[in-house]
A and B are shown apart, each in its own frame.
Chain A
């Protein structure tokens, strides 16, 4: 029984990571109509910046390092919005935007490889250890992941519902022309959205540092599973993204009890295909 509970918690924690990934690209998708194919590289960049520069070279305490990473990534997001996302979203077809973000991802990977080197490393003692509740042992990083992800999801919803900027962002995602006629500056809004998305990416990157080694391939699977959970929950729909992510995390962890764990990564692909065949609009979205 405790084993089941432990597995469930691990599954939910991984699920929350996938959900965050889904949220992070969904807000850009809603604001610009572009899918950010470099999102897993944003995560990679955040993780390297946090672990490589702020903690290991500058020796900052983790809390300050997290803050520094968030600020840097926000600025990085804003810059890449003005340099890349805004020009790309004005082109005639979406194809060039897809290609553009894919190439941006490669530029980030190359930059990371040149700045921090190709060798993987890890942060000793960061979010390590475990809690014991009754007879259930829960790893500390999983608890932190669940707490932080819940906090981000709730505050993002509050931000979109109640602040003026958040409302403006929802207007932009509904109708760009109408929003600009109502005096909303669309390109600044898009930049802010990409900035927030980059911050979420950085947080994901920091959260997965204790789970994976810091290496160049660390985020490609999470990126892919984030896409899968978006499709499962309903593409472009925030609550759907969260539900899809958690579902995927739990299915994956229990699936790995039945099939050999090297094939665990295949489950998300199979789920993606099944949902595209049976219910392409996803679990929570009715309109097509």
Chain B
């Protein structure tokens, strides 16, 4: 009970900071960065389900994210449907991807999910670039409408930030509940001891597919939010490097815990801006730091504060 109270207080303080921060920021660029942080948090939380909890690697974030973004953007621009319905359609697309890609790759044990997701990502990029009639090819989709509530359009960065903050908080709460539920514990058990969970009569394949579907839904929702925020989409940025960025966030923050994911997403999005002075060497330095994390501190930054818990593992 005491621990729960402590978590609640920390969470409330963080929400408070997140809520009042924009009041002190007038620079539009910094606001953009903060919206990007929110979107990244959603993606990393999603990635945590499959990679952090069940221990299967997903290297296709770019493909899943851009499928969500394109679904939302194309439906909104071609048929003029309300963006909120497009967001729901993007989530449905996430379920389709999750089951469609998860079923072949997660039924058999092994590293197949990593392979199929890399492949999926590349195929999505090829299709987005070459199906010119549908997606606009390399030029992409333009003039994607913004979200609106009761006729009020969210155009200002500050308004978008607060809207996305509410959505992100809902998704964070949802992720927290899932991670600390029966599902979350069974996901974790798959990573730690598949034989035992198999012997307890739990269907591993089904659980893994479920975890991957959650991942896909979170990523497509983030994609849709991103598309309606920037207003245009083109396929060039969504390659394997994009996907690896989110794995880096997951590792730096702390695998398996919601707080760690959030910390990782914030850190890896903000720090490049602070390290601009080493511009060219930035990714080299940062990748080496990440590799050191993987080898020496595999449970992420959070395990520094949570010594007891990481010792138990």
| Bound Cα distance from A18 to B241, whole angstroms | 22
B111 & A87 in contact (Cβ 8 Å cutoff): no
Cβ of A212 within 8 Å of any chain B Cβ, yes or no, is: no
Partner of A265, one of B105, B126, B313: B126
Question: What is the chain B residue whose CB lies nearest that of A111?
Answer: B284
Partner of B110, one of A93, A110, A220, A235: A235
| Bound Cα distance from A284 to B255, whole angstroms | 37
Partner of A87, one of B112, B191, B247, B295: B295
Cβ of A276 within 8 Å of any chain B Cβ, yes or no, is: yes
* Residues from chain A with Cβ under 8 Å of B298 in the complex: 91, 96
Q: Contacting chain B: which of A66-74, A100-108, A130-138?
A: A100-108
Q: Contacting chain A: which of B17-25, B51-59, B158-166, B173-181?
A: B51-59
Most chain A CB within 10 A, of B51, B104, B244, B291, is at: B291
| Bound Cα distance from A100 to B55, whole angstroms | 14
A102 & B59 in contact (Cβ 8 Å cutoff): yes
Question: What is the chain B residue whose CB lies nearest that of A264?
Answer: B126
Question: What is the chain B residue whose CB lies nearest that of A87?
Answer: B295
Given contacts A84-B295, A103-B291, A262-B126, contact A224 B119 (CB under 8 A): yes
Chain B nearest CB: distance from A242 CB in Å? 18
Cβ of A27 within 8 Å of any chain B Cβ, yes or no, is: no
Partner of B191, one of A91, A95, A110: A95
| Bound Cα distance from A104 to B290, whole angstroms | 9
Some 19 contacts from A to B, beta carbons below 8 A apart, are A35-B114, A37-B114, A88-B295, A94-B55, A94-B111, A96-B294, A98-B111, A98-B114, A102-B57, A103-B287, A104-B291, A114-B281, A114-B284, A224-B122, A227-B115, A265-B126, A269-B120, A280-B112, A288-B108
Chain A contact residues, CB within 8 Å of chain B: 35, 37, 84, 87-88, 91-96, 98-100, 102-104, 106-107, 110-111, 114, 220-221, 224, 227-228, 231, 235, 260, 262-263, 265-266, 268-269, 272-273, 276-277, 280, 288
List the 8 closest pairs (A to B, CB-CB), nearest first: A269-B119, A110-B284, A276-B104, A280-B108, A100-B294, A95-B55, A107-B287, A98-B57
Chain B contact residues, CB within 8 Å of chain A: 51, 55-57, 59, 103-105, 107-108, 110-112, 114-116, 118-120, 122-123, 126-127, 130, 191-192, 240-241, 244, 247-248, 251, 255, 280-281, 283-284, 287-288, 290-291, 294-295, 298, 313
Q: A263-B130, A273-B119, A280-B108 are in contact. List 6 more A-B contacts (CB 8 A).
A: A95-B56, A99-B247, A99-B251, A102-B57, A103-B291, A106-B244
